[in-house]
Structure 1
């Protein structure tokens, strides 16, 4: 989506968004590859929609996209930062099970010399223990259910997540994450609210708009706000 303005549309709003795009710009021509569905309208407005759940069959791409994003899914979730982790299982929008943990990791110091090195080693050891706790929670909660899961929601520190998923016990989860690989979501220190909120971010459909589509979309949004 380089050079395009990026918006995120909730699955339940996507049908209305697509209808509005067609009304503003004329019926678009749709074309799809393995990763994206591109809509090009008669007035040169263009929308590039990420296929977050994989390729479409291709017979009726817009209808297939709507069916794909609206399908209820069972998802695992692993959110991890140095100071906390959250692990959960969602069935559609219901949080079926979860595990939360907070970790003590010292902040950085401005001290120098050997003191700084000892402090850095202590901080690294604390972080390792924190990641071990997150790994234990994922092994306990997610690995037994991995065969039921349609995907894995990841959020937080990308390096820490890679380290945790590289542990042999979590190999099934690492394989699940690769099925529809996405960047980890940026999240605050994980807690129950952050875990619940992350689901909406994960399910939102990314759409890139060129300048022609972006200008009219901004006007439509202002009109909607004025009419409220």
Structure 2
């Protein structure tokens, strides 16, 4: 069966699953900490990745508790980093309650060779290091005061740059939360509008949908 990857907001998840059953027949499900697998009468399968795992399955609730788990508002810290740009924000559900966005100039690559290339590389490395330090300062100022109430930390942008920033010793608590959350977002240059839009991605339920081929 061909597979499709879908991203469904938590507010639409129940309606989507109802539509899945309507299209494919009665469903059963298997709930686990990382995914809830819904199988329909005609063999169609919707594997729903649990957002902010683990899910503690509760069969007294719909789909083992997935709907309630996905709909829960959480305090989430977001750190977006690219060379030269960074943004940090704290969300209560989808509402941004604290943020800071900044940038530092980091030169692009050059085709020059020899000593000029070496000088350029050293200058570029220094600029990148200063940009990462500035990003760490912003993360410490915006995210650390909320570290005790954050349920998760989501990173985005350049993964290696985000890892570099979180390696700052001041941010050890945030790094531990990011490692447990395991969400990294593909985003463009970190601007305020980009930061504000991140809940659409980090709150979404990612579904791998397999449907039987329909004969012509």
Do the structures match in fold with TM over 0.5?
A: yes
> Where does residue 225 of structure 1 map in the other structure?
none
Query: In structure 2, how many angstroms separate the alpha carbons of the residues matched to 1:135 and 1:4?
Result: 40
Contact 2:29 2:39 in 1 (8 A): yes
* Structure 2 residue 51 is the aligned partner of structure 1 residue 52: yes
Q: Counterparts in 2 of 1:200-211, with a 5 A limit?
A: 200-211=200-211
Query: In structure 1, how many angstroms separate the alpha carbons of the residues matched to 2:18 and 2:122?
Result: 57
Cα distance, 1:56 vs structure 2: 2.8
Q: Kindly provide the CA deviation profile for residues 179-213 of structure 1, in whole angstroms up to 9, marking residues without a partner as x.
A: 2222x11111111100011121111110001142x
Cα distance, 1:129 vs structure 2: 0.5
> Where does residue 185 of structure 1 map in the other structure?
185
Give the structure with the higher percent strand: 2
> Where does residue 79 of structure 1 map in the other structure?
80
Query: In structure 2, how many angstroms separate the alpha carbons of the residues matched to 1:15 and 1:23?
Result: 12
* Structure 2 residue 121 is the aligned partner of structure 1 residue 120: yes
Q: Counterparts in 2 of 1:31-110, with a 5 A limit?
A: 31-53=30-52, 54-59=54-59, 60=61, 62=63, 64-110=65-111
What TM-score do you get using the length of structure 2 for normalisation? 0.93
Cα distance, 1:52 vs structure 2: 1.7
Cα distance, 1:63 vs structure 2: 5.6
> Where does residue 166 of structure 1 map in the other structure?
167
Query: In structure 2, how many angstroms separate the alpha carbons of the residues matched to 1:38 and 1:61?
Result: 13
Give the secondary structure class of the aligned counterpart of 1:121: helix
Contact 1:153 1:199 in 2 (8 A): no
Give the secondary structure class of the aligned counterpart of 1:148: coil
Structure 2: unaligned runs, 5 residues or longer: none
Give the secondary structure class of the aligned counterpart of 1:109: coil
Structure 1: unaligned runs, 5 residues or longer: 217-228
4+ runs deviating over 4 angstroms: none
Cα distance, 1:117 vs structure 2: 1.2
Give the structure with the higher percent helix: 1
Tell me the number of residue pairs that the alignment of Structure 1 and Structure 2 aligns: 211
